[in-house]
């Protein structure tokens, strides 16, 4: 099975190498801002001419914002705009132009109704201080050295890695992986290189291919499995909260930057900022490590994994739970399960967003009209079942997999419930065999859109 996979390694750069990488990232930012200013100037000019009553045929000619068009315009103007252009790789400028081309396309598609989700705003100029330094290489010498401690990138040369690259090197040497591109990025005060590869993965079978597990995510417990297992929520952000507050107070007592007066930050403020950045990076790394271990174990063990289609964006509007919901990483857990089940030969099922997994009795199928969030124990008035609320929801999710045919047309499933749960007494959930209710092209019905 061929798939796209990324391998990320931390780098140990020398001061001269870090300056070279920052120069390439700055070149990408310059190309992005120049092209954006050019496109915006023409759009503003055409809008002004329309306001004066100029006919469309007489307006200032529009400029193309596809990547080839932006690249041609940059090549014509780079001698005047950036006389130092020869000092950086062409891939640096291509990085900024490609980012702008994709941003403009997303904005145009969003305005035309061709892009689902939230409205996409018009691209903004990149700031040297606020933007994340990044540069992407797609051509040239991109390889992992045989000593598995160095990588080679165009114009940057041989860079030492902080960790061994054996995971990628073994696949490349065996012909099971082909490197397509490499991206150097600074994250949390450290530089990383990410290789995007086309990998030939061996076909695998889960340890229990015919077993099904329902996963109900939450704040009290990160995940409750239908098997009865409770996965604790580590709450890394709460654990590091005391240190972060102390570092924030330390930053506030020192002289920071001021854009109004042009004041530059002091060295002590920069040192405190780096400490704060590393603290946030540690929390993110701990969260990512825990989610990877959990999702890998579930994907390798169970043949079918069922999760809910949660409206995480809506849940984050709850000011009392937003911080802990964001710290748990619901969306990341679902994203990792989606591709890891495919890698391990399993099946990934997403319940409909309005499927009442918490309100439905896992014993008799009766559905409650209302169930307050404070009620942590589910009590069925029909059959007398008393069960933990999250465990009851996980069992309902596991039973829902019976509605989806193994050769179904898509991962979404559910009974297509409305926004409101209608009370009709002991109503059993549909468990008929066959494909689930789907919309066009095997996608979920409109009420089950992904978060």
Active-site option among 308, 327, 352, 403: 308
Confirm whether 308 is a catalytic residue. yes
441, two tokens: 């092209």
Residue 34 has φ and ψ, to the nearest 5°, of -65, -45
Cα-based distances in Å from 336 to 198, 290, 294, 323, 331? 18, 12, 10, 21, 9
305 touches 215 (CB < 8 A): yes
413 touches 350 (CB < 8 A): yes
Cα-based distances in Å from 286 to 215, 289, 290, 335? 21, 5, 6, 17
Question: What sign does the dihedral 396-333-131-238 (CA atoms) show?
Answer: positive
Which DSSP state fits 24?
H
Distance CA 209, CA 197 (A): 28
Confirm whether 309 is a catalytic residue. no
152 touches 158 (CB < 8 A): yes
- The packing angle between helices 67-81 and 15-51, to 10°, is 110
Containing H/E element for 208? strand 208-217
C-alpha distance across the termini of the chain, in Å: 28
| DSSP codes, 195-246 | EEEEEEPPP---SEEEEEEEEEE-SSEEEEETTS-EEE---HHHHTHHHHHH
Distance CA 70, CA 75 (A): 9
Distance CA 355, CA 393 (A): 10
Distance CA 183, CA 336 (A): 21
Active-site option among 309, 352, 390, 403: 390
Residue 232 has φ and ψ, to the nearest 5°, of -65, 150
Cα-based distances in Å from 409 to 66, 149, 385? 34, 44, 35
Confirm whether 289 is a catalytic residue. no
Q: How much of the chain is helix, strand and coil, in % rounded to 5?
A: 40, 20, 40
N residues, the chain: 451
Active-site option among 216, 309, 352, 403: 216
Catalytic residues: 216, 308, 390
């Amino acid at each position: 099975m061929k798939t796209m996979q990324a391998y990320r390694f931390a780098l140990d750069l020398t001061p001269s190498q870090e300056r070279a990488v920052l120069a390439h990232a700055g070149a990408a930012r310059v190309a992005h801002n120049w092209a954006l200013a050019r496109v915006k100037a023409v759009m503003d000019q055409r809008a002004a001419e329309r306001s004066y009553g100029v006919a469309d045929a007489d307006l200032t000619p529009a400029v193309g914002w596809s990547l080839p068009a932006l690249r041609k315009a940059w090549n014509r103007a780079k001698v005047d705009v950036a006389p130092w252009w020869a000092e950086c790789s062409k891939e640096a400028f291509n990085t900024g132009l490609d980012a702008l081309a994709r941003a403009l396309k997303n904005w145009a598609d969003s305005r035309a109704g061709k892009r689902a989700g939230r409205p996409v705003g018009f691209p903004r100029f990149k700031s040297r201080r606020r933007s994340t330094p990044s540069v992407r290489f797609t051509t040239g010498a991109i390889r992992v050295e045989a000593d598995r401690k160095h990588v080679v990138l165009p114009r940057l040369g041989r860079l030492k890695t902080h960790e061994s690259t054996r995971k990628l090197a073994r696949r490349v040497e065996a012909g099971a992986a082909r490197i397509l591109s490499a991206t150097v990025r600074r994250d949390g005060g450290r530089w990383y290189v990410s290789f995007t590869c086309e990998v030939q993965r061996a076909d695998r079978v889960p340890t229990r291919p015919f077993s099904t597990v329902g996963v109900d995510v939450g704040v009290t417990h990160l995940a409750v499995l239908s098997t009865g297992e409770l996965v604790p929520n580590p709450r890394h952000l709460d654990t590091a909260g005391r240190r972060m507050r102390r570092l924030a107070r330390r930053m506030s007592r020192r002289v920071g930057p001021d854009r109004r007066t042009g004041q530059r930050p002091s060295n002590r403020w920069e040192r405190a900022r780096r400490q704060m950045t590393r603290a946030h990076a540690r929390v993110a790394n701990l969260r990512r490590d825990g989610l990877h271990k959990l999702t890998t174990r579930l994907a390798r063990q169970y043949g079918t994994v069922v999760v809910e289609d949660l409206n995480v964006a809506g849940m984050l509007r709850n000011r009392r739970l937003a911080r802990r919901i964001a710290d748990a990483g619901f969306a990341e857990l679902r994203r990792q399960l989606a591709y890891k089940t495919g890698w391990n030969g399993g099946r990934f099922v997403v319940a409909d967003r309005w499927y009442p997994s918490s309100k439905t009795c896992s014993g008799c199928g009766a559905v409650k009209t209302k169930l307050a969030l404070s009620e942590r124990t589910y009590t069925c008035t029909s059959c007398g079942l008393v069960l933990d609320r999250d465990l009851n929801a996980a069992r309902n999710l596991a039973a829902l997999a019976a509605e989806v045919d193994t050769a179904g047309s898509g991962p979404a499933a559910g009974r297509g419930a409305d926004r409101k749960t209608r009370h009709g007494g002991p109503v059993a959930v549909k468990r008929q065999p066959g494909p689930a209710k789907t919309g066009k092209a095997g996608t979920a019905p409109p009420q089950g859109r992904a978060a």
